A = this chain, B = another copy of it.
Amino acid sequence: MIAPSISRYPVPKLEELPEDIRARMLEVQEKAGFIPNVFLTLAHRPDEFRAFFAYHDALMLKEGGLTKAEREMIVVATSGANDCLYCIVAHGAILRVYAKNPLVADQVAANYRKADIGDRQKAMLEFALKVALRSSEVIDADYEKLAAHGFSDEDIWDIGAIAAFFALSNRMANLISMRPNDEFYLLGRVPKK
């Protein structure tokens, strides 16, 4: 049986890659046990690869008012709205791990209104989906609603910017038919003993 293609475009071999990109891949492999296909497939274009992950890290690894699980909720909810298989599956796994909750990712991907999350998080996702789907309609009242839930202006930039970055990411994954690693589907579903 042939492994299914992970991209519509050529996937470079590890040994052909620029040193910095290979190093990043080995580092993530070390941590996760496998190299997520977003690394392998985007490496087809090294400059775009570097910018993509620099942007990702600036938004997802920084300090701030949102927890890591909340950031991943934004990714999963907006990727669900954009029907992006890679991001739903891969970031769903990461959300399960960060939230230590095996159910929340499938809930947020399907319909955040029915998810086991708080009202503050529902307001966050309502706004993230507005940025994802009809950003031109964002108005002052949206900012005020989030402020009433305790979000600072910098938090709101975070929410909106994560929705915006995954607007890019979802489109790239759909464009090149990026395939989620099989490992992601099960990750975080079975409690460790």
Residue A17 at the chain B interface, CB threshold 8 Å: no
Contact B85 A9, beta carbon cutoff 8 Å:
no
Residue A67 at the chain B interface, CB threshold 8 Å: no
Q: Which residues of B contact A168 (CB under 8 A)?
A: 164-165, 167-168
Contact B157 A136, beta carbon cutoff 8 Å:
no
Known contacts A168-B168, A185-B103: does B88 contact A110 (CB below 8 Å)?
yes
Contact B186 A175, beta carbon cutoff 8 Å:
no
Q: Which residues of B contact A111 (CB under 8 A)?
A: 83-85, 136, 174
Chain B residue nearest to A59 (CB atoms) is: B48
Q: Which residues of B contact A89 (CB under 8 A)?
A: 106, 110
Which secondary structure dominates chain A's binding surface?
helix
Known contacts A106-B185, A168-B167, A189-B185: does B113 contact A136 (CB below 8 Å)?
yes
CB distance from A121 to the nearest CB of B (A): 15
Which bracket fits the contact residues of A? 35 or more
CA distance A48 to B168 in the complex (A): 14
Chain B residue nearest to A96 (CB atoms) is: B185
Copies of the protein in its oligomer: 6
Known contacts A84-B136, A189-B185, A190-B186: does B116 contact A4 (CB below 8 Å)?
yes
CA distance A85 to B132 in the complex (A): 17
- Can you sample 22 A-B contacts with CB below 8 Å? A8-B153, A9-B153, A9-B157, A47-B58, A48-B55, A82-B135, A84-B110, A84-B111, A84-B135, A88-B106, A89-B106, A102-B185, A114-B174, A114-B177, A131-B174, A131-B175, A160-B175, A161-B172, A161-B175, A164-B172, A167-B171, A189-B189
A residues apposed to B, CB below 8 Å: 4, 8-9, 44-45, 47-48, 50-52, 54-55, 57-59, 62, 80, 82-85, 88-89, 102-103, 106-107, 109-111, 113-116, 131-132, 135-139, 143, 153, 157, 160-161, 163-165, 167-172, 174-177, 179, 182, 185-186, 189-190
